[in-house]
């Protein structure tokens, strides 16, 4: 409870209390809203405004916007929002036009699941949740330009999400130009013959459906039948990025299976190289860049063709080690590889090793049984089986192209169909997995890299000279790995049996979901099943109101299920007659009934903040250029500061970069990257108290005594965990605001530690920041009378003046570097200095102090500023600037004596080191002159005040 008692209140009716804080905070929040204090003017359009502001340097400061969850906010959520707000306010006071706002990411699973749980329509529950969160956020005093806020479920917003989908759908990646281009340009090239169609037929001779099928191979958004991640427990398919490394759904933790389904994809793989190389110029945490690089997984290597005995079609493998080709002693096809069926002979070849056959009578039987066994495992299981390598001989032999040796072709599940070509050349001498397999199946090993002395019984994957690697035309022996790779690739290319290539781990982005609560696809199908894009004039295609919006979910472990889209239940909406304006007149169509994934809305929201009401365009180019365009130090453009959690490393942050690049290629934006600087805030953790059975007990009811923790008399144990309802330790910002005020909460969250570090919440420690504000208040306002006590005429003493300028200097650097905790420590020190000094504070100290704390505790700062006689808000006041002369430590006079006689006086910094002082003294002209030719025998240094030279 607040520590003010009624007695204290009568004695000091104007003390800074929770009640006064509430009054101040409400009044200033109302003022800011009425005054539109945080409205950032655009250079043009409906949000154009104050031209002097527009002329300033811009600062676009952004948070990862929230899901409007039903549980509301706890104190962990606003950590990042407060941090960006402090930074935005600081930038505003240092002469920037600051764009800072917050919208809602309101489509998607969390909102939908909450709606299903509570039996309310997702729109109703989402809107109620947003209202609740808005009220909670308003209490924190966040300086948002509310004119620019929106939710991704607003039809005026998702109209443009659908529009972007159509841009992506209507474009293709031109490898030559290395950028996306309109599909119309590809069609024109096919039509005039300047580009041959994939199968060489004349474009004019193709039926509309055939043309569409050709284009489907090029479009950046395309539907295809392919193995996808099917999650029966959620009732939807998922993107690779949404599946955890142990093969479960990131949300809900359900099993995920591979199922062959027709789904929409985004050709993000076309951008794999640019997504890697453009990272270099971004100011992002290295850890996130690394995660993206690893996820994209660029591997340089080669494709090599191996002839198969008795077959025309070769097996093409991808290898990162073409230098080891002389050591390829067998091959492996993934069980799903299409060539498996064609190469399997009717009977086992003579003398087939029994270990290879899996006990089957024929190769076909062996392969069939093995495939069945493999299909029940996830990719992750297949890759992490350790030493227990399984597989069967296909019955076919290939030929090593370098030494002509016949090598057996196996089918084994340690090779995945989804990577490279789904086939490998196996080199047990240099690859551990191949070594294990070769050991199990009694296959030969040829080392092609010289291992260190005594190396035996395992593969050698390190560097070294090549051995056993020569034929009549190619001699690699003695070469180091890199050079041997180069020579081999050149040789293969010359012979036309291989080529250097780059392979990526990244897969195309699975873009459709079988859910209700998402953006409908602006796509319809005609009687032939051919897809057609809706014309722009039909956007937004609104999500229909339906009775039954629940997803169809299944037994989480039942892989033999198929998704059902909620929208398909609504046949009135699905079947339509439309004139698409394509010259075909009014026809019957069937709508696409999948919806977009929840990532769609967050792929481009930064752009809509810029020009939120534009009904003609996604964003006016002049406005986009102003806020996001490339500039010095930000060659790819983008938001100046983007703060959010590290968990989005390969989801949102990869998808948003991809959409940016497409929009850039198509000329809609000037920024090729969405976010120039990224900062990951730490988590606010909380103590969890568990009873003897391990159940959490309400944290607020726990007592601490004798070094232990007790609940209802019973000893409980304390551990650190997540904050939330389920662990009974959630603390809401509303509680803290009621008890101390929002300014105290803001200060506490920012003071807890460096912003990027996780820290435990401790409600009892909040009062420390409350006391800072009380002392600040007392340094300006008389608690008994409410009068301002600062003096106008009096000059501050030297020590106070220096303390102020040191603080200004330190706080400026700290705020600019997002080191809010140390900024608060410095402000506290200055404030304590004033409290200790006693007596009225000179105005020339009080005013800069108020401005210094303003970004952190804006309400109380505004109030003091007003009481100090200013009108309006301090939001745009100039941040104090330190006088460099006063930032330096005061100089101390050092006396230099020669044989006890004073010969010079030096002004030196108080912290000067002995050696430096000695050098300074011996180099002083007066000392040099006094010494003359006399030899220095000894120098006694007592820094900083005395140097005694003995000659
Ligand atoms: C021969 C070889 C010799 C290989 C050697 C490695 C070491 P990264 O770096 O991840 O790209 N590989 C290729 N396709 C595969 C698939 N579909 N499933 C499982 N393994 C596959 O790894 C590429 C290497 O992984 C390739 O290079 C291939 O084995 C294997 F001393 O070829 B290597």
Name the residue with tokens 């409870």: 1
Structure tokens at 666: 């198509």
Strands (DSSP E) along 446-574, which ranges?
Answer: 498-504, 509-510, 523-525, 531-533
Same domain, 350 and 493: yes
Q: How far is the CA of 327 from the centre of ligand 1 (A)?
A: 14
* Residue from 324, 424, 461, 481 to probe ligand 1 pocket by mutation (most atoms less than 8 Å from CB): 424
What domain count does the chain have?
5
Taking residues 232-247, report their average pLDDT: 87
Count the Cβ atoms, other than its own, within 10 Å of residue 816. 13
Q: Which residue's CA lies nearest to atom 26 of ligand 1? A: 319
Same domain, 552 and 453: no
Same domain, 514 and 471: no
Q: How far is the CA of 318 from the centre of ligand 1 (A)?
A: 7
pLDDT, position 12? 87
Count the Cβ atoms, other than its own, within 10 Å of residue 780. 23
Taking residues 648-668, report their average pLDDT: 96
What percent of the chain is predicted at pLDDT more than 70? 99
Domain contains 118: no
Residue 783 contacts residue 708 (beta carbons within 8 Å): no
Domain contains 147: no
Instruction: Summarize pLDDT for 504-515 with one digit per residue, the tens.
Output: 999 999 999 999
Best CA proximity match to 421, nearest among 260, 507, 303: 303
Q: How far is the CA of 427 from the centre of ligand 1 (A)?
A: 10
For residue 925, pLDDT beyond 50 = yes
Taking residues 65-91, report their average pLDDT: 93
Same domain, 946 and 864: no
Domain contains 834: yes
Range of the domain at 499: 298-504
Among 840, 862, 887, which residue terminates a domain?
A: 887
Structure tokens at 50: 């104050």
Q: How far is the CA of 320 from the centre of ligand 1 (A)?
A: 6
CATH at residue 327: 3.90.740.10
Residue 909 CA: distances (Å) to CA of 887, 890, 891, 895: 12, 7, 5, 13
Give the β-pairing of 684-690 and 714-721.
antiparallel
User: Within 13 Å of residue 559, how many CA atoms lie on the same side as its CB?
Assistant: 14
Q: How far is the CA of 319 from the centre of ligand 1 (A)?
A: 5
pLDDT, position 856? 98
Q: How far is the CA of 418 from the centre of ligand 1 (A)?
A: 13
Q: How far is the CA of 257 from the centre of ligand 1 (A)?
A: 24
Domain contains 792: yes
Among 887, 904, 935, which residue terminates a domain?
A: 887
Q: How far is the CA of 477 from the centre of ligand 1 (A)?
A: 22
For residue 686, pLDDT beyond 60 = yes
Residue 685 contacts residue 722 (beta carbons within 8 Å): yes
* Residue from 227, 320, 430, 461 to probe ligand 1 pocket by mutation (most atoms less than 8 Å from CB): 320
Same domain, 353 and 226: no
In DSSP notation, 38-96 reads TPPPBSSSTTB--HHHHTSPEEEEEEPPPP--TT---TTTTHHHHHHHHHHHHHHHTT-
Same domain, 424 and 474: yes
Give the β-pairing of 946-950 and 938-942.
antiparallel
pLDDT, position 261? 86
Q: Which residue's CA lies nearest to atom 31 of ligand 1? A: 430
Q: How far apart are CA 195 and CA 681, in angstroms?
A: 50
Same domain, 805 and 916: no
Q: Helix axis angle, 652-665 relative to 286-296, nearest 10°?
A: 70
Q: How far is the CA of 276 from the centre of ligand 1 (A)?
A: 21
Q: Backbone dihedral region of 716: left (phi > 0), alpha (psi from -120 to 50 degrees) or beta?
A: beta
* Residue from 293, 319, 379 to probe ligand 1 pocket by mutation (most atoms less than 8 Å from CB): 319
Q: Helix axis angle, 767-780 relative to 742-751, nearest 10°?
A: 120
pLDDT, position 911? 82
* Residue from 318, 330, 333, 402 to probe ligand 1 pocket by mutation (most atoms less than 8 Å from CB): 318
CATH at residue 904: 3.10.20.590
Best CA proximity match to 596, nearest among 901, 219, 239: 239
Same domain, 385 and 426: yes
CATH at residue 772: 1.10.730.10
User: What is the atom index within ligand 1 of the atom nearest the CA of 418?
Assistant: 17
619 pLDDT band, cuts 50/70/90, is very high
Instruction: Summarize pLDDT for 778-801 with one digit per residue, the tens.
Output: 999 999 999 999 999 888 999 999
Domain contains 633: no
Instruction: Summarize pLDDT for 527-547 with one digit per residue, the tens.
Output: 989 999 999 999 999 999 888
- Ligand 1 is surrounded, with C-beta below 6 A, by 299, 318-321, 324, 334, 415-416, 419-420, 422, 424-425, 427, 430-431, 503
Residue 409 contacts residue 315 (beta carbons within 8 Å): yes
Q: How far apart are CA 652 and CA 678, in angstroms?
A: 13
Q: Which residue's CA lies nearest to atom 9 of ligand 1? A: 299
**710 burial type by CB count under 10 A (0-12 exposed, 13-18 middle, 19+ buried):** middle
Same domain, 491 and 551: no
CB under 8 Å to 154, separation ≥6 — which residues?
none
pLDDT, position 1? 45
Domain contains 614: no
pLDDT, position 496? 96
Residue 628 contacts residue 637 (beta carbons within 8 Å): yes
**51 burial type by CB count under 10 A (0-12 exposed, 13-18 middle, 19+ buried):** exposed
Rounded to 5 degrees, what angle do the CA atoms 461, 466, 467 make? 105
Q: Which residue's CA lies nearest to atom 18 of ligand 1? A: 415
9 pLDDT band, cuts 50/70/90, is low
Instruction: Summarize pLDDT for 93-121 with one digit per residue, the tens.
Output: 999 999 999 999 999 887 788 888 888 89
Element (H, E) at 894: strand 892-898
Bond into 189 cis (ω within 30): no
Give the SS3 label for residue 230: strand
Domain contains 643: no
β-bridge partners, 689: 697, 718
b/e burial code for range 160-190 (CB count within 10 A of at least 16 → b): bbbbbbbbbbbbbbbeeeebbbebeebbebb
β-bridge partners, 42: 48
Q: How far apart are CA 411 and CA 315, in angstroms?
A: 13
Q: Which residue's CA lies nearest to atom 32 of ligand 1? A: 319
Residue 875 CA: distances (Å) to CA of 78, 480, 742, 822: 21, 64, 17, 22
Count the Cβ atoms, other than its own, within 10 Å of residue 333. 26
Residue 336 contacts residue 352 (beta carbons within 8 Å): no
Domain contains 484: yes
CB under 8 Å to 87, separation ≥6 — which residues?
61, 641, 815, 818, 855
Same domain, 379 and 307: yes
Among 565, 591, 617, which residue terminates a domain?
A: 591
Mean pLDDT rounded to a whole number for the chain: 94
For residue 4, pLDDT beyond 90 = no
Determine which of 8-12, 481-485, 820-824 has the lowest per-residue pLDDT on average: 8-12
pTM of the model: 0.88
Same domain, 717 and 747: no
Q: How many whole angstroms from its chain centre is CA 759?
A: 20
Taking residues 607-627, report their average pLDDT: 98
User: What is the atom index within ligand 1 of the atom nearest the CA of 328?
Assistant: 1
Residue 88 contacts residue 100 (beta carbons within 8 Å): yes
Determine which of 303-312, 858-867, 889-898 has the lowest per-residue pLDDT on average: 889-898
Residues in the chain: 951
Same domain, 783 and 856: yes
């Amino acid at each position: 409870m607040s520590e003010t008692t009624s007695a204290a209140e009568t004695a000091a009716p104007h003390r800074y209390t929770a009640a006064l804080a509430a009054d101040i905070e409400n009044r200033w929040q109302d003022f800011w809203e009425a005054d539109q204090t945080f409205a950032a003017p655009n250079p043009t359009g409906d949000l154009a405004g104050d031209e002097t502001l527009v002329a300033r340097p811009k600062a676009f400061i952004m948070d990862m916007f929230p899901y409007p969850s039903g549980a509301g906010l706890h104190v962990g959520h606003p950590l990042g929002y407060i941090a960006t707000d402090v930074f935005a306010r600081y930038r505003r006071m240092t002469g920037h036009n600051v764009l800072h706002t917050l919208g809602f990411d309101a489509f998607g699973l969390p909102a939908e699941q909450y709606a299903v749980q509570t039996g309310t329509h997702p729109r109703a529950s989402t809107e109620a949740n947003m209202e609740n969160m808005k009220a909670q956020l308003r209490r924190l005093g966040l300086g948002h330009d509310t004119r620019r806020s929106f939710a991704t479920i607003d039809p005026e917003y998702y109209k443009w999400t659908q529009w972007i989908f159509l841009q992506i759908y209507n474009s293709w990646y031109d490898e030559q130009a290395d950028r996306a281009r309109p599909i119309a340009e590809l069609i024109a090239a096919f039509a005039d013959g300047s580009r041959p169609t994939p199968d060489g037929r004349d474009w004019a001779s193709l039926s509309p459906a055939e043309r569409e099928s050709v284009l489907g191979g090029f479009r950046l958004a395309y539907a295809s039948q392919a193995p996808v991640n099917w999650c029966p427990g959620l009732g939807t398919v998922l993107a690779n990025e949404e599946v955890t490394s142990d093969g479960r759904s990131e949300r809900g933790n359900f099993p995920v299976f591979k199922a062959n389904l027709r789904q929409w994809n985004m050709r993000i793989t076309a951008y794999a190289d640019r997504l890697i190389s453009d990272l270099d110029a971004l100011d992002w945490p290295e850890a996130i860049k690394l995660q993206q690089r690893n996820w994209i997984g660029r591997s340089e290597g080669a494709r090599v063709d191996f002839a198969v005995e008795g077959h025309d079609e070769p097996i093409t493998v991808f290898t990162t080690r073409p230098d080891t080709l002389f050591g390829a002693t067998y091959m492996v096809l993934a069980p799903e590889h299409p060539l498996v069926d064609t190469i399997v002979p009717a009977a086992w070849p003579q003398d087939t090793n029994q270990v290879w056959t899996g006990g089957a009578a024929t190769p076909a039987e062996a392969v069939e049984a093995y495939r069945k066994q493999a299909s029940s495992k996830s990719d992750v299981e297949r890759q992490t089986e350790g030493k227990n390598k399984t597989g069967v001989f296909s019955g076919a032999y290939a030929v090593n192209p370098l030494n002509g040796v016949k090598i057996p072709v196996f089918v084994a599940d340690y090779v995945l169909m989804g990577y490279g070509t789904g086939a490998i050349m196996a080199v047990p001498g240099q690859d551990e997995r191949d070594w294990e397999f070769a050991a199990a199946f009694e296959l030969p090993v040829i080392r092609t890299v010289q291992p260190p002395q005594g190396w035996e019984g395992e593969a050698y994957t390190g560097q070294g000279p090549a051995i056993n690697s020569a034929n009549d035309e190619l001699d690699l022996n003695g070469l180091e790995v890199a050079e041997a790779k180069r020579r081999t690739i050149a040789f293969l290319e010359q012979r036309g049996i291989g080529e250097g290539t780059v392979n990526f781990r990244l897969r195309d982005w699975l873009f459709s979901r079988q859910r209700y609560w998402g953006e409908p696809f602006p796509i319809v199908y005609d009687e032939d099943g051919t897809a057609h894009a809706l014309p722009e004039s039909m956007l937004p295609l609104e999500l229909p109101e339906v009775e039954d919006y629940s997803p169809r979910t299944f037994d989480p472990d039942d892989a033999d299920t198929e998704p059902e889209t909620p929208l398909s239940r609504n046949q009135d909406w699905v079947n339509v007659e439309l004139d698409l304006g394509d010259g075909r007149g009014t026809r019957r169509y069937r709508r696409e009934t999948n919806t977009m994934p929840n990532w769609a809305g967050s792929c481009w929201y930064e752009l809509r903040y810029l020009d939120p009401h534009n009904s003609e365009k996604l964003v006016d180019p002049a406005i986009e250029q102003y806020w996001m365009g490339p500039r010095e130090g930000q060659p790819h453009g983008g938001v100046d500061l983007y703060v959010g959690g590290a968990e989005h490393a390969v989801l949102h942050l990869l998808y948003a970069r991809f959409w940016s690049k497409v929009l850039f290629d198509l000329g809609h934006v000037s920024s090729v990257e969405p976010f120039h600087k990224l900062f990951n805030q730490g988590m606010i953790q909380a103590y969890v108290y568990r009873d003897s059975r391990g159940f959490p007990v309400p944290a607020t009811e726990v007592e601490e005594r004798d070094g232990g923790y007790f609940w209802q008399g019973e000893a409980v144990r304390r551990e650190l965990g997540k904050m939330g309802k389920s662990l009974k330790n959630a603390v809401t910002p509303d509680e803290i605001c009621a008890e101390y005020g929002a300014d105290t909460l803001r200060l506490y969250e920012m003071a807890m530690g460096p912003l990027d570090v996780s820290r435990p919440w401790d409600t009892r420690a909040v009062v420390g920041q409350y006391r800072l504000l009380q002392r600040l208040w007392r340094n300006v306002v008389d608690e008994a009378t409410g009068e301002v006590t600062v003096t106008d005429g009096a000059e501050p003493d030297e020590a106070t003046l220096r303390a102020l300028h040191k603080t200004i200097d330190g706080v400026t650097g700290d705020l600019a570097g997002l080191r809010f905790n140390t900024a608060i420590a410095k402000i506290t020190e200055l404030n304590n200095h004033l409290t200790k000094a006693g007596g009225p504070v000179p105005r020339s100290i009080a005013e800069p102090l108020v401005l210094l704390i303003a970004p952190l505790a804006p309400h109380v700062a505004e109030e003091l500023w007003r009481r100090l006689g200013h009108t309006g808000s301090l939001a745009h006041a100039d941040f104090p600037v330190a006088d460099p002369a006063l930032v330096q430590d005061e100089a101390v006079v050092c006396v230099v004596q020669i044989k006890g006689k004073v010969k010079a006086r030096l002004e030196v910094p108080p912290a000067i080191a002995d050696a430096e002082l000695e050098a300074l003294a011996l180099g002083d002209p007066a000392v040099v002159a006094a010494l003359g030719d006399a030899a220095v025998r000894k120098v006694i240094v007592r820094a900083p005040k005395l140097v005694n030279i003995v000659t």
